[in-house]
Structure 1
Amino acid sequence: MANRLAQATSPYLLQHADNPVDWWTWSEEAFVEARRRDVPVLLSVGYSSCHWCHVMAHESFEDQATADEMNAHFVSIKVDREERPDVDAVYMEAVQAATGQGGWPMTVFLTPDAEPFYFGTYFPPAPRHGMPSFRQVLEGVAQAWAERRDEVGEVAGKITRDLAGRELSVGGDEVPGEQELAQALLGLTREYDAQRGGFGGAPKFPPSMVLEFLLRHHARTGAEGALQMAADTCERMARGGIYDQLGGGFARYSVDRDWVVPHFEKMLYDNALLCRVYTHLWRTTGSELARRVALETADFMVRELRTPEGGFASALDADSDDGTGRHVEGAYYVWTPAQLREVLGDADAEPAARYFGVTEEGTFEEGASVLQLPQRDEVADAARIDGIRERLLAARDRRPAPGRDDKVVAAWNGLAIAALAETGACFGRPDLVEAAVAAGDLLVRVHLDDHARIARTSKDGQVGANAGVLEDYADVAEGFLALASVTGEGVWLDFAGLLVDHILARFLDAESGALYDTASDAERLIRRPQDPTDNAAPSGWTAAAGALLGYAAHTGSEPHRTAAERALGVVKALGPRVPRFIGWGLAVAEAVLDGPREVAVVGRGADDPATAELHRTALLGTAPGAVVAVGTEGSDEFPLLADRPLVDGAPAAYVCRNFTCDAPTTDPDRLRTALGGRA
């Protein structure tokens, strides 16, 4: 018999709909029930592509005896962290404060007033490695609730008060200057792994936002060390197992320092951010590897994550059927020499194994290898390798595929829109731009209500019930601003304006300049979440600063510019100390110091070759955070086009920054020089 989760739209919650656990969704009704029964709440938080979430579900939540224990002594609530990042953030902060670490699945025990008092992540079905079993935890918590209620209440009250007192200081209203950015670069240099690329040790996550900062810093200052760290890291990732050498796209992270063995789930946000990074690296260096990886990653997103409605699904699972009925992590992606011979025959199997680093010993489990590109030399027979890759990909397509989390998350689609629009424009791929426009149309049609308030998720074209958080407004605005620059359609600037106005009205503390992750009229939790540091994607705080800055550059709006600069005060404070964790804020600061530049291309229409060449030249510029408007003389599509005529009847580009404009130019080469772009 299905439980309450059968009515959910989240694929993660639906995975638990047949559990014998009497699950509730996060709702006031669940806490009312806990108060009625006088029992604690068991909050379990995870997400669809989380490997250990699946393990704990199979070991414990599908077990009748464990479910009976949960049902008898708790009201159990299941939360998809991707649908409710606010709930996840508040209680993850408590878990990390109490235990010094966090992760998913997250297991938190709450009072009926939602105050946390006991924490953990994964609990095994039997005691293991010093961890109690999940049944032991359930029994211990139930006993404490029954026999030591006052003590439990004191602990819960203290934790809640401590969390409520963690109001963040924004660090002043000043934008980071040259000194802070130089200190941030020095800090990154100290943590840089010169042998392997990336920062720190294992596990290694793709440092997408830091790479954007390094590329922008090089573009503005010419610092070769910044470019070298970015380029080398991108090459090591692209040659490693974290990158899918057959189908394109990146896995979540590498479990080792050498980028060899990934955690195999593929997330939309990682691939959107990295697609944009590799496009920007090509724009800077002309690297053929960067071009290939950018396009393959874009094609992966469109091919494997695009939904029938035109949006992009959240993730592909790490696990899949290995062909014998076992659900195994990485089964879809890894190869043995015998499997290569079966698909390719003896003649091609040996060069394929050498080229992709497949060995008898293996680099993963049970003698299997993750495909890599360990050699750096040019391939003598590229056509043969291309044929091998195609045959292996076709064979892999016949394997049981990983599950897909089909929900469309607004923020992550905003990141994908920006990446696909820019990648399509840079490489002359209108199909990618069209995919970005279609995703933007879906967000406007399904996620935005009549007041331009954005919903966090949709699935199958149906909007979800959860309100958007700051990152949704900011990342979607970022995507719409990219569409405005690439398509020349001013309606995208208008939609971005509606979203950034919500940021000013509902997420900003006007007195301090601080930003909150939830709106002023959102559901009240035990703490209003607020975090400026990057995690897997840009924080809502720094993403909002970037979107506000871009909109201000397009429109000349002083309130939006001021809000962006005040928000960067926290980057001035944190950038020199923890640059790895506020990379997007540092990238936005680079844009502020560069202007950002405002480029208006006034031409004779989209079909005019001279206009198109100036427009593409502007989009290829490396000036940090530059905004581009294109249209015909007299057009009111963009404020930047006002009072800017053709020059002697020819299309012209106007470049301005900090209230100063260069002379208009009709020469793409001069525009390229002004914006630091490629030929």
Structure 2
Amino acid sequence: MNRLAKETSPYLLQHAHNPVDWYPWGEEALQRAKNEDKPILVSIGYAACHWCHVMERESFENEETARIMNQHFINIKIDREERPDLDHIYMDAVQAMTGSGGWPLNVFLTPDKLPFYGGTYFPPVKAYNRPSWTDVLLALSQAFKERREDLETQAGNMRDHLQQSSRFGGNAAAMALVPVEELFTRQQCDTIYGNIMQQADKVWGGFGSAPKFPGTFSIQYLLRYYHSYKEPKALEQALLSLDKMLQGGLYDQLGGGFARYSTDARWLAPHFEKMLYDNALLVDVLSEAYQLTGNKVYEQTIAETLQFIQREMTDAGGGFYAALDADSEGVEGKFYTWSKAETDAVLGPDAALFNEFYDVTEEGNWEEQNILWIREPAAAFAAARGMSTEELNGRLAAARAKLMEVRSARIRPGLDDKIILGWNALMVHACCKAYAALGKSSYLEMAVNAMNFCLKEMQQTGTEAFYHTCRAGKAKYPAFLDDYAWLIRALIALQEVTGELFWLERAAVLANYVEDNFSDEQNVYFYYTERGQGDVIVRKKEVYDGATPSGNAVMAANLFYLSVVFDEEERGRRATAMLAGQSQTAVRYPTSLGVWAGLLLQQVEGTKEIAIVGVDYKLRMQDTNRHYIPFKILLGAGSDISGLPLLEQRERAGETLIYVCEHYHCIKPVNYIEEFFNLK
């Protein structure tokens, strides 16, 4: 047993019995590398990573391979979800060295933590045009001994490259002095739309080719662009993308919830791991699609996905777990797939209909097994067979319940039960959006319980600072920019759906903390890591969206929101400066900067400032939330409205009034939000 046995990360614990002398990242390992003057091998992965498991079985559990690693290197295992800051730095380095990246990420460092070589998965013997892992180990050990000066020069150049990549934003503050209507234009929004559509798959939905990720930021932009400018093709592509995902194997047709991505263009065969953040972002965009269309399938999918989260990924204290593994019994997807013999045995006379609808065949549709997916929408399928859609849905629901019962008895995929602050904030925000759209109280309850868990269990004692992760009652690692940005956004969303100003006040306090501790030298953008963190070789600034939204982009949106609510011009100017610095790149590459693109559209279209004052303000807020108003600031109060410029001097005895404003200019107050739409 190695030193990982004392860790709380499920991923690190998976490696605790390897013969490799693994260390967690920390002073003990880093100091030993200096004392023994040995290179450091850092291996980064996460609990739900299929190829991480493969490399462990092939190499890290092999006694001879472990002997070579232990002899020549100080070996460090990192859970990328616990330390995304380190993952970002060393992933950028490997991508610069090799042109590609992924997990497992294996990177070799000098004793001063500087990277000089790296790659992803290495096989145990030479294969797939990759050298064997042992050949890599022996070659690098020899190079470190014989060409040390060359490697250190290379590593120093890489550090300089990484530092250079974060040196931007100097002229953004000057750009913010230009009038907003000149900085951000309708033409830019149209170009963003055109560039998204150039990458759109107009047959199967989504963007780009396989492997195909959900692309929720692009879908959200298309929904909002349609709402703003009534371009039918934007709505068509957004809904096609959602519909095809919901019909595909990417969506768990029995248990609800989404896998991380599809390995094919048709959304049939997913990479079966289920991540909390994907499900949060998809519930977010499905809630908007429901508000816009009223499509009951979106309502049902939201319900099934949040039921899955409640059932399988919620801690007793209310927090949400990180992920479910792709593998069970060492086989990817085994928990989720079916043979025709199995469905026939379970469903009996109902099997034929079920098998035809979900494409279950004797030979299988994936690796001799069957992934349940829908090739034809229910209405068309039912009509072709002379039955009503209601009858079909009823029979299919009964069949799914039977199969779900059988599946529940199978050996389950591994659960990564650590609770990550930022990912919880994303799901809190999603639950708020679902509650706003559908009014189901259990969604709000999930949001409030999870937020209370985060505030109670993950805030550092006696300070405004938070921890990044928590497991088994132990919180650790300082929170990162993403954690705070998403947490602030979630607190804002909670105020909008509860009418409780407490949440907004917490958001404002945390925004102060982020500005004090994460700001760059120009006070425009934010670093990923907090001021004073000493174990990273560079402080990075991240502006691109990955699988999750850019922390800087979300902070820009947060600052803009708070600047309006509290009438803080300086914050508004900073938000404008941040967006101005990224606008050209967002126009050119909107699928990589989708949140910035959405912010640009918001600046062009304008933001509805909705203030509701009076005894029934919470009911009126609920009514307002049901409508699709993508760019809005919603604030409500009964009588205590001091200190909030958007609410002050708006009270009228015996009435509840809704003020819809823009740039503090308001139309005539109304009693019900529907009257606003009639006035437009």
- TM norm structure 2: 0.94
Change (3 A) 1:635 1:158: closer
Amino acid in the other structure paired with 1:344 = L
Change (3 A) 1:527 1:587: same
Q: Which residue of 2 aligns with 1:617?
A: 623
Are the counterparts in 2 of residues 621 and 672 from structure 1 also a CA contact under 8 Å?
no
Of residues 655, 658, 667, the one that matches 1:653 is: 658
d(CA) in 2 for partners of 1:570, 1:408:
33
Change (3 A) 1:65 1:338: same
**Deviation by residue 1:155-187 (Cα, 9 ceiling, x = unmatched):** 212222222222343373355432222111110
Of residues 469, 493, 508, the one that matches 1:457 is: 469
Amino acid in the other structure paired with 1:56 = M
Tell me whether 1:644 sits opposite 2:650 in the alignment. Answer: yes
Tell me whether 1:328 sits opposite 2:328 in the alignment. Answer: no
Of 493-502 and 648-657, more deviation after overlay is shown by: 648-657
Q: Which residue of 2 aligns with 1:668?
A: 673
Q: Which residue of 2 aligns with 1:362?
A: 364
Q: Which residue of 1 aligns with 2:121?
A: 122
Amino acid in the other structure paired with 1:299 = Q
Q: How does 1:373-384 map to 2 (within 5 A)?
A: 373-378=374-379, 379=382, 380=388, 381=391, 382-384=393-395
What percentage of aligned pairs have identical amino acids?
Answer: 38
d(CA) in 1 for partners of 2:422, 2:291:
25
Change (3 A) 1:339 1:590: same
Q: Which residue of 2 aligns with 1:75?
A: 74
d(CA) in 1 for partners of 2:678, 2:85:
45
Amino acid in the other structure paired with 2:67 = D
Change (3 A) 1:593 1:391: same
d(CA) in 1 for partners of 2:332, 2:295:
33
Q: How does 1:412-427 map to 2 (within 5 A)?
A: 412-427=423-438
d(CA) in 2 for partners of 1:620, 1:255:
36
Tell me whether 1:400 sits opposite 2:411 in the alignment. Answer: yes
Q: How does 1:249-398 map to 2 (within 5 A)?
A: 249-321=257-329, 327-345=330-348, 347-365=349-367, 367-378=368-379, 379=382, 380=388, 381=391, 382-398=393-409
d(CA) in 2 for partners of 1:414, 1:295:
19
**Tell me, what secondary structure is at the counterpart of 1:45?**
strand
Of 189-198 and 660-669, more deviation after overlay is shown by: 660-669
Structure 2 unaligned spans of 5+: 177-182, 383-387
d(CA) in 2 for partners of 1:620, 1:673:
16
Q: How does 1:152-551 map to 2 (within 5 A)?
A: 152-170=151-169, 172=172, 173-174=175-176, 176-321=184-329, 327-345=330-348, 347-365=349-367, 367-378=368-379, 379=382, 380=388, 381=391, 382-449=393-460, 450-464=462-476, 466-509=477-520, 511=522, 513-551=524-562
Amino acid in the other structure paired with 2:263 = V
Of 586-595 and 201-210, more deviation after overlay is shown by: 586-595
Shift of 1:335: 1.2
Are the counterparts in 2 of residues 243 and 250 from structure 1 also a CA contact under 8 Å?
yes
**Deviation by residue 1:118-139 (Cα, 9 ceiling, x = unmatched):** 1111111111122111111111
Of residues 632, 639, 642, the one that matches 1:633 is: 639
Are the counterparts in 1 of residues 123 and 131 from structure 2 also a CA contact under 8 Å?
yes
d(CA) in 2 for partners of 1:470, 1:176:
26
Q: Which residue of 1 aligns with 2:29?
A: 30
Amino acid in the other structure paired with 1:97 = A
**Tell me, what secondary structure is at the counterpart of 2:209?**
coil
Shift of 1:517: 1.3
d(CA) in 2 for partners of 1:242, 1:637:
47
Are the counterparts in 2 of residues 309 and 460 from structure 1 also a CA contact under 8 Å?
no
**Tell me, what secondary structure is at the counterpart of 2:423?**
helix
Amino acid in the other structure paired with 2:567 = G
Q: How does 1:581-592 map to 2 (within 5 A)?
A: 581-592=592-603
Shift of 1:305: 0.9
Of 421-430 and 71-80, more deviation after overlay is shown by: 421-430
d(CA) in 2 for partners of 1:553, 1:475:
19
**Tell me, what secondary structure is at the counterpart of 1:627?**
strand
Amino acid in the other structure paired with 1:417 = V
d(CA) in 2 for partners of 1:300, 1:642:
42
**Superposition CA RMSD, Å:** 1.7
**Deviation by residue 1:262-302 (Cα, 9 ceiling, x = unmatched):** 00000000000000100100101111222111222122212
**Tell me, what secondary structure is at the counterpart of 1:640?**
coil
Of 629-638 and 408-417, more deviation after overlay is shown by: 629-638
Shift of 1:623: 2.6
**Deviation by residue 1:538-577 (Cα, 9 ceiling, x = unmatched):** 0111111122222223322222222221111233121121
**Tell me, what secondary structure is at the counterpart of 2:320?**
coil
d(CA) in 2 for partners of 1:93, 1:527:
12
Q: Which residue of 2 aligns with 1:608?
A: none
Are the counterparts in 1 of residues 435 and 443 from structure 2 also a CA contact under 8 Å?
yes
Of residues 575, 580, 585, the one that matches 1:564 is: 575
Shift of 1:63: 1.3
d(CA) in 1 for partners of 2:197, 2:535:
41
Shift of 1:645: 1.4
Are the counterparts in 1 of residues 437 and 627 from structure 2 also a CA contact under 8 Å?
no
Q: How many residues align?
A: 660
d(CA) in 2 for partners of 1:493, 1:144:
56
d(CA) in 2 for partners of 1:673, 1:520:
51
Tell me whether 1:87 sits opposite 2:89 in the alignment. Answer: no
d(CA) in 2 for partners of 1:269, 1:656:
33
Q: Which residue of 1 aligns with 2:608?
A: 597
d(CA) in 1 for partners of 2:299, 2:521:
43
Amino acid in the other structure paired with 2:355 = A
d(CA) in 1 for partners of 2:135, 2:283:
45
d(CA) in 1 for partners of 2:446, 2:401:
24
Of 426-435 and 161-170, more deviation after overlay is shown by: 161-170
**Deviation by residue 1:650-669 (Cα, 9 ceiling, x = unmatched):** 32211112121121100332
Are the counterparts in 1 of residues 496 and 621 from structure 2 also a CA contact under 8 Å?
no
d(CA) in 2 for partners of 1:556, 1:351:
60
**Tell me, what secondary structure is at the counterpart of 1:43?**
strand
Shift of 1:637: 9.0
Shift of 1:392: 1.2
**Tell me, what secondary structure is at the counterpart of 1:579?**
coil
Amino acid in the other structure paired with 2:675 = R
d(CA) in 2 for partners of 1:205, 1:674:
41
Are the counterparts in 2 of residues 357 and 369 from structure 1 also a CA contact under 8 Å?
yes
Amino acid in the other structure paired with 1:33 = R
**Deviation by residue 1:319-350 (Cα, 9 ceiling, x = unmatched):** 012xxxxx1110111111111012111x1111
Shift of 1:112: 0.3
Shift of 1:82: 0.7
d(CA) in 2 for partners of 1:502, 1:178:
35
Q: Which residue of 1 aligns with 2:179?
A: none
- TM norm structure 1: 0.94
Shift of 1:638: 5.7
d(CA) in 2 for partners of 1:349, 1:638:
61
Shift of 1:445: 0.9
**Tell me, what secondary structure is at the counterpart of 1:575?**
helix
Shift of 1:436: 0.5
**Tell me, what secondary structure is at the counterpart of 2:646?**
helix
Are the counterparts in 2 of residues 12 and 48 from structure 1 also a CA contact under 8 Å?
yes
**Tell me, what secondary structure is at the counterpart of 1:76?**
strand
